[in-house]
Structure 1
Amino acid sequence: MRNIFIAIIKDGKESVLLDKQYPSGNFFGGGKVTRDDINLTIDLQKLGLADGKAVLKMTASDYSWQGWWNGNVTTVEKEIVIDTKRPEVSVLSGIQNVNQGGSGIVIYSLSEPCEKNGVYAGGNYFPGYNGYFSDKNIYISLFALEYNKGPGTEVFIEAVDDAGNSTKRGFNIFIKANAFKKDSINISDTFLNSKMPEFNLEVPQDSKAPLTDKFLKVNRDLRVENYKKITEIVKNTEKTILWEGVFVSFPNAKKMAGFADHRDYHYQGKYIDSQVHLGVDLASVANAPVPAANRGKVVFTGDLGIYGKTVLMDHGLGLFSVYSHLNSFDVKEGDMVEKGGIVGRSGSTGLAAGDHLHFSILVNNIFVNPLEWWDASWIANNVTGKIQAVRTGH
């Protein structure tokens, strides 16, 4: 290489960013440098360059004998847009009342298209989706607080435009603290002998309590693997609302365990483990038909470790429902299922001691309290009412 020249041309003015010469070799050998990685920091204010369209011009030449020893010359010009203005974020929905472990929705408008925009809640990101309103610059973000994120959790909207300009905007939010139930579960030899053979996990050959060690591996390690699998499944969601109205529960069922119950596990009177129950357990008759909580698309059917036979449904905008410990399936991946349509039959597959449904709701990859979505008043006040208010301007 002989020379690299880089400039920005705007409004007829050429501003030089780089004009770099490279040493030559011997008479026949050309240049000493054949490759160079160049990083430029451009001070637009110093160059007096305002926002708007411009051209980035790059010229390279070498030491060949072409053009009477002037060398080969290549010029590339690329149209660019100079953008130093941060996007503006305007919150359109009112105050957000969100429960610890619960869901929320915020509606906002942007001054310009931003491929990345959404809500950060306790460090978790929940993207915004447009297309639900006539104004394409209005976005909805369905967000969630983890069960352990209470008052004081940082929640804000962030929008990043194509040039990398970023704006963060807080909004009025009231977070209500929740104290979740503590539970103690005794693990029996009968349970271990009947359940552990179902899991293909190895324990050390010198283990003095192989069934107990296997249970701990299932309850800890496999639980983590299963959650990772779920997070992969829910990465893709329909960019519109598929559901309508209140979500329905498992009919004629008794609640056996609640969301975010903190469980201590004991074996032969000794504490062995702790986990958090991220769903609601509902028991009816054996092999009972399990209805879809709302309209949605089936995105997974299969065995999911501790959850056993499981169905995952996408309800749009990152909202998912999960049906676990099933005995059998009545749907397949890709099916659109209406509210109340049967997805399967209850069972005791996975890490279940008896026939019941483990039901969960996720917002993106965060488990939330299903009780909210079973509550028509909560949905009207916190979701559909806010959407309608923005739509009508009231």
Structure 2
Amino acid sequence: MEPVPPACYERPMAIVTTVDLILDAGLAVLAEAGPEGASVRGIADRAGVPAATLQHHFASKQALLKAIYARAADRHVAATATALSAFAGLAALPVPDTELAIALLRTWLGEAERATAGILHLLAQAARDGTYAPMARDWEARMVAAMAGEAGLPADMAGFVLELIVGVALASAPHAFRVEKDVLDRELLLFVFGRRDADAGGWLRAFRDREKRRDPGDADRAVSGDVARAVLDAGIRMMAESGGDALSYRKVAARAAVAPSSVLYNFPTRQHLVMAIYEDIHRRFTRSVPAGRLESAGLVDRVVAMFPPMITRQMAGEVPLVLASCELFLAGWRDPELAHQAWSMRLARGQVRDDAGATPNEDLLSHFLSLWTIGLGMLHLSRDPAEREGHIVARMRAGAVLARLG
């Protein structure tokens, strides 16, 4: 029997450094408050260290945010690779892409929720500020490599799955409606990767009908009056430029050059303001959507002609308008009080106008396109503006083939 080594020879436990404490605290605060609300003081307090100690390790907030995003990316890629490992060695077998996508989505919205929130914020920030773009591109490349290495997905398919799951995750704020989102996400992913029949889209319509019965007064509020219009325009630009944390009555009133009481009069709660902003963004996008049904003939060309200009050319000031929509969903991720608004916004995405006479199958197709393209936009808006639209067109054509759009 071999002698037992004395305690001094035992392998030491992993040492948690001060930087680890700061970055873990920073990721938690970022997930809860967003980059604007994640103050240096708040992160130091969460980490249990003096602010001076934090500033010793990170000379600026930008340096701190980049380190937090790097921590989020490492954890996100590791969690994704673990989820994909269940599919290792099955590349030659008919493994349902649906189950792989569902496994990823469950991981992103479950154990990796904080890291997912960090990545979604990184993608939005990279689209506004090019200094974060290399980090976003690196995360994307590592995710595609993980899908290829662990699950054997070809690069085009890995890219398409990543775009779709980013969009679905963004619109699936984890605070509420868990069962409904699970059902709707499975219906959507089955539609994309597997079943397309007369029953597709039934759950989407059922949830939309229930939402209308629950609160019909909140549907499609028309905004009138110069003050309300100025408030909405200011709110949309602020959401696109700075994110949901900028959306305080005081800040919106200052941007719109009106009294805070005027904002409160037109929008009695923050929820009213959030939904009015979303509906106005929705109207801006739908004005560029041609009427008519989504017949399969020529659908790829229609999709490619429609969505890239919507993503890249519709602007809120100097920033793509789609970022305002993304930031509204991220506000639902952070604020449980906005969870219902996030669910309502999810159901509204891609809703075909009643006069188009769409079938449930076509309705679900439109819903899928709206979520895929918002994920595609988040992933690729961080590219140089001169090459954005061309790159998105190429990605849409590749994805349309993989989604069997025509």
TM-score tier by shorter-chain length is: under 0.3
TM-score (norm 2): 0.23
- Relative contact order, CA 8 A, sep 6+: which one is greater? 2
Would you tell me which structure has more helix in proportion to its own residues? 2
Q: Who wins on radius of gyration, i.e. which is larger? A: 1
Report which of the two has the higher share of strand.
Answer: 1
